Structure 1
Amino acid sequence: MKKILIYLATTLIILAAGAYLILNEKLPSGDNPQKADELANKMLKALNKTAWDSTNVIVWTHKGVHHFVWDKKNQMVEVKWDKNDVFLNLKEWNKGKAFSEGKEITDGQLDVLRGKAWAIFCNDSFWMIAPYKVFDEGVSRKIVKTEDGTEALLASYSSGGVTPGDSYLWFLANDLKPKAYKMWVKILPVGGVKATWDNWKTTETGAIIAQTHILGPMTITIENLHTGNDLTAVKVDATLFDKIK
């Protein structure tokens, strides 16, 4: 019996290693950063980056489980999931508050919930606005020639969010909107995992955002998406963030 278990374990290790070698892609090096900047700017124009920059408030639901009210102008965000309701002041972390089942958390769990809310916000907002972030501080851009002869945009992040060092290879459609990207990120064990960018919506402020991503067998959805110039424009109480100003 022991020999059979050892055999099975060895077989699984070999299969896992084989799958890794087959699925894992090496991060392409890319070149021509000047041309990459030109392509990135064309993509941003197609997505109306100017409208995104002037958008003050965004509300949305990520995969039906995480709910957000983001006051981008004043750098505050509400993150709701399960029984938790966390308010983050992105300028002054000590003002952030957390509630669970309607009761305010004031003990050591406060920092735990604020940290988790921050990680959720970073991940979920990136799935919504990643194309707008290709010129963020610490991002380098290069051109990668694809197998079919087209050009893809490689964006590598040396800072920002919770996983600096990640890279994304953007594939653009004929209208210059992203249709997919491949990822080289710390949270995934293999490089080159592909996700689609589909179901584009022109929001109330004119910003254009993809609402569906197919990632292998998983579908990532962005629902109840609305943008506005203030909280009342997205049907949110204007005093929502007063407690953490």
Structure 2
Amino acid sequence: MVPNSCKLYHKKSSYVKTICIILCAVVVLSSCASSQSKEDVINKIWNGAGGKKTWQNSRFLTFVFAPQKEGKTLASRSHLWDRYTGDYRFETKTEENENLLVLFNVNTQKGISYLNGKTLPDSLNKKEIKNAYGYFINDSYWLLAPLKLEDEGVKVTLNQPEIIEGTSCEVLHLAFGNVGITPGDQYWLYVDSETGHIKRWKFLLEGTKEPGIFNWTNYKDLGGGLILATQKQTIDKSFAITFPIASVLIDVERNKFTKK
């Protein structure tokens, strides 16, 4: 018969061993996290998206940017992009529910605009091309942000890892110096340590005080192995940026960029 004091000792010993194992695991995880460089995390993101070569081979990209509030679609903007030439087709509805089509080149920012099928005069044409270019920058970034970390002028730093909804995440902070339309914007990407997918992003836009926080979901293969999130939703789920259409196309007729 084992004395009660011995039983108590064995229980305490087992408890101490358990605590030691947990502490060791924490130390190991912390060590692994601290050994990660920002380059390691960026490479993990590329792998999660299908790889750099996959993106390089994705010439034609089409997507629809559709923000939703409490389940109601607020707008729908259609994009078709030849990444090799910069040619672009942008379509949307105006506030007056008229059909706007802008055919332009994102590199030269020159092109032609149509309202309800009619060519706009030069002054309005320049305005609509400028607006379309702004939508291109904004809407494509919501879809392609993980692929733009190594763009010229982007400053990436690695923050301490965090746990997001039970998922271990590396955290990257992005700043832009004097690059882009709104260079004062800041972003934080929370990267799933296992998959390399963005679990969440937080941003503080130029001139604002309150950050936006969105969870990234609905990861899909857009074609050719390019994997991206097609929904970004606020934590309270009241607002979302959705991409009901997002595809890599093998080929596109050239007149899509030249004819209405």
TM-score higher than 0.5: yes
Q: CA deviation at 1:172?
A: 1.4
Deviation at 1:92, TM superposition (A): 2.5
1:79 aligns with 2:90: yes
Note if 1:51 corresponds to 2:60.
no
Which residue of structure 1 aligns with residue 39 of structure 2?
Answer: 37
Is residue 2:204 matched to residue 1:184? yes
Q: Secondary structure at the match of 2:244?
A: strand
Contact 2:162 2:170 in 1 (8 A): no
Q: Which has the higher contact order (CA 8 A, sep 6+)?
A: 1
The letter of the residue matching 1:40 is I
**Which structure 2 residue ranges, 5 or more long, are not aligned?**
1-33, 67-74, 94-98
Contact 2:231 2:241 in 1 (8 A): yes
> For 1:127, what is the secondary structure of its paired residue?
helix
Q: CA deviation at 1:238?
A: 3.2
Cα distance in 1 for residues equivalent to 2:247 and 2:62: 5
2:241 matched residue in structure 1 = 220
**Between 129-138 and 178-187, the greater mean CA deviation after superposition:** 178-187
Over the aligned positions, Cα root-mean-square deviation in angstroms equals 2.2
For 1:208 and 1:183, how far apart are their aligned partners in 2?
22
Please list, as runs of the form range in 1=range in 2, the aligned pairs for 1:201-216 lying within 5 A after superposition: 201-215=220-234, 216=236
How far off is 1:98 after superposition? 0.3
Give the CA deviation at 1:190.
2.5
Give 1:229 shift: 3.3
1:69 to 80, 90, 94: 80
Q: Which has the higher mean CA deviation after the structures are superposed, 145-154 or 161-170? A: 145-154
**Deviation at residue 242 of structure 1 after TM alignment:** 3.9
On the 8 A contact 2:109/2:133 being kept in 1, the answer is no
- Structure-2-length-normalised TM-score: 0.72
Aligned length: 205
Instruction: Give the letter aligned to residue 54 of structure 1.
Output: N
Distance 2:258 2:112 in 1: 11
In the alignment, the residues of structure 2 paired with residue 61 and residue 150 of structure 1 have an alpha-carbon distance, to the nearest angstrom, of 29
**Aligned partner of residue 240 in structure 1, secondary structure:** helix
Match of 1:241 in 2: 257
Q: Match of 2:141?
A: 126
Structure 2 counterparts to residues 99-114 of structure 1, below 5 A: 99-114=114-129
- Segments of structure 1 that go 5 or more residues without pairing to the other structure are 1-31, 232-236
Normalised to the residue count of structure 1, the TM-score between the two structures is 0.77
Q: Which moved more, 1:127-136 or 1:144-153?
A: 144-153
Structure 1 stretches of 4+ moved >4 Å: 146-150
Match of 2:107 among 69, 91, 94: 91
User: d(CA) in 1 for partners of 2:180 and 2:79?
Assistant: 17
**Cα pair distance change 1:53/1:121, threshold 3 Å:** same
